[in-house]
A = this chain, B = another copy of it.
Amino acid sequence: MSEALIVGVGMGRFGKYPDTTLADIGWPAVKAAIADAGIDARRIQACYCGSSLGGMMAGQRVLGRIGMGGIPVTNIENACSSSSTALHQAVLAVRAGKYDAVLVIGVEKLTKFGGGVLPLEQEDWEVRMGMAMPALYAMRAARYMHEYGLTREQLARVAVKNRANGALNPVAQMQAPVTEEEVLASRPVADPFTLLQCCPTGDGAAALVVVSAALARQLGRAGVRVAASDLVSGRFVPGFRDMTIPEITLRGAREAYEEAGLGPEDVDLAEVHDAFTIAELIYYEAFGFCGRGEAGAFLDSGATRIDGRVAVNPSGGLLAKGHPIGATGAAQVVEAVQQLRGACGPRQVPGAKVALTHATGGGLTGYDHGACSIHILTR
């Protein structure tokens, strides 16, 4: 089995680009990743493109703009995990020796839906009854507050931390820091969430070049090693379910740590799926960064700040960097790779050697509709 290394990353600033086509949102990230890898574009043998709502042939449309047609392109939809699943498949193909240079794209244009609630599946009875994502996570937050005494102020401080990180990230959609008071005073969305506790919608793209160890040597690139690449989907749990435990992430984390031969104590930074403030806290526990019910105190201790024990969402996370759904997984990996290279300037996690990325999505009825993809990267 060949080792898979990431040798090139690229992304543009996430934001709202209603007048730009999906292809034109996507190709600059691809060109940046290829230039970053120092690889001749003609050596790229295949492409896996993650997009959840991008429509037919998103990858071909992006590559068509820059004369990269011809190679096998596989478009992957796994909701918020779309481009991390694309990376998972790219890693599988490189490890198997099928290809030695693969391009991963994550691209999404949510402004094409004109703002407002995303077009979830009306065939899903929970969606039809109004269970949009903010409502689902609000229920999780309320339960967690009830069980563990988490306060509204602690919830708000997740947003404060991530917006502060985002203020240091030139590709973040939201670049203004916010105070705890501003978060709490922003307009209510689904109690206990105020607007600033929900990630923004937007457009964006990110791209990665994944190569075999042999090709990385040829290119003279050390690269970042993919120590674990995991994909799981939700499992139906009959009867009572504890909404404060993200079963899918817990299972994925266990598999990913095992594959990497590493544990939570080894992780220097983690880009986790903070679509809403409560999510980040729940994931501290799912990844074993702290114990059950301790997430609020763990946050308050400063352990997850850029200079803390495990920096969580140094990029700003979904709350600040933005969340163009299909682009998110790849964008998390862009941040992780740049952190492991020590190239993040003012938001650099000191001495980062092990990074974890986590994209999870979908998943309403009985949690069995979700997908979660976790990567552990090392230098």
Q: Is A70 a contact partner of B234 (Cβ separation < 8 A)?
A: yes
Q: List the B side residues contacting A56 at CB < 8 Å.
A: 52-53, 77, 79, 120-121, 362
Asked if A235 lies at the interface with its beta carbon under 8 angstroms from chain B, I say: yes
How far, in angstroms, from A252 to B234 measured CA to CA in the complex? 36
A191 CB, nearest partner CB in chain B, Å: 26
What are 27 of the A-B contact pairs (CB < 8 Å)?
Answer: A21-B123, A22-B121, A22-B123, A23-B123, A53-B56, A56-B77, A57-B121, A57-B370, A57-B371, A59-B233, A60-B369, A63-B233, A63-B368, A64-B366, A64-B368, A67-B236, A69-B234, A69-B235, A69-B236, A69-B369, A70-B234, A72-B231, A76-B76, A76-B77, A89-B89, A96-B96, A96-B97
Residue from B67, B97, B233 in contact with A72 in the complex, judged by beta carbons closer than 8 Å: B233
Given contacts A60-B362, A92-B96, A124-B61, contact A74 B70 (CB under 8 A): no
Asked if A165 lies at the interface with its beta carbon under 8 angstroms from chain B, I say: no
Asked if A55 lies at the interface with its beta carbon under 8 angstroms from chain B, I say: yes
Asked if A175 lies at the interface with its beta carbon under 8 angstroms from chain B, I say: no
Residue from B22, B52, B73, B76 in contact with A74 in the complex, judged by beta carbons closer than 8 Å: B76
Per-residue CB proximity of A243-254 to B under 8 Å, as 1/0?
Answer: 000000001000
Q: Is A235 a contact partner of B121 (Cβ separation < 8 A)?
A: no
Given contacts A67-B236, A96-B96, A123-B21, contact A57 B77 (CB under 8 A): yes
Interface extent on A, as a size class? 35 or more
Asked if A232 lies at the interface with its beta carbon under 8 angstroms from chain B, I say: yes
Asked if A217 lies at the interface with its beta carbon under 8 angstroms from chain B, I say: no
Which positions in A face B, CB cutoff 8 Å?
A: 21-23, 51-53, 55-61, 63-64, 67, 69-79, 85, 88-89, 92-93, 95-98, 119-121, 123-124, 231-236, 251, 362, 365-366, 368-371
Q: Is B61 a contact partner of A371 (Cβ separation < 8 A)?
A: no
Q: Is A70 a contact partner of B231 (Cβ separation < 8 A)?
A: no
Q: List the B side residues contacting A21 at CB < 8 Å.
A: 123
What residue in chain B is nearest A71 (Cβ atoms)?
B233
How far, in angstroms, from A82 to B121 measured CA to CA in the complex? 20
A52 CB, nearest partner CB in chain B, Å: 6
What residue in chain B is nearest A230 (Cβ atoms)?
B72
What residue in chain B is nearest A97 (Cβ atoms)?
B96
With A63-B368, A64-B234, A95-B96 already in contact, 12 other A-B pairs whose C-beta atoms are closer than 8 Å: A22-B121, A55-B121, A55-B123, A57-B369, A58-B77, A64-B365, A69-B368, A70-B251, A72-B88, A73-B371, A74-B76, A75-B78
Q: Is A70 a contact partner of B120 (Cβ separation < 8 A)?
A: no
Q: List the B side residues contacting A232 at CB < 8 Å.
A: 70-72
What residue in chain B is nearest A99 (Cβ atoms)?
B92
Q: List the B side residues contacting A123 at CB < 8 Å.
A: 21-23, 55, 61
How far, in angstroms, from A93 to B73 measured CA to CA in the complex? 16
Q: Is B121 a contact partner of A74 (Cβ separation < 8 A)?
A: no
Q: Is A235 a contact partner of B70 (Cβ separation < 8 A)?
A: yes
Given contacts A67-B236, A96-B96, A236-B67, contact A74 B89 (CB under 8 A): yes
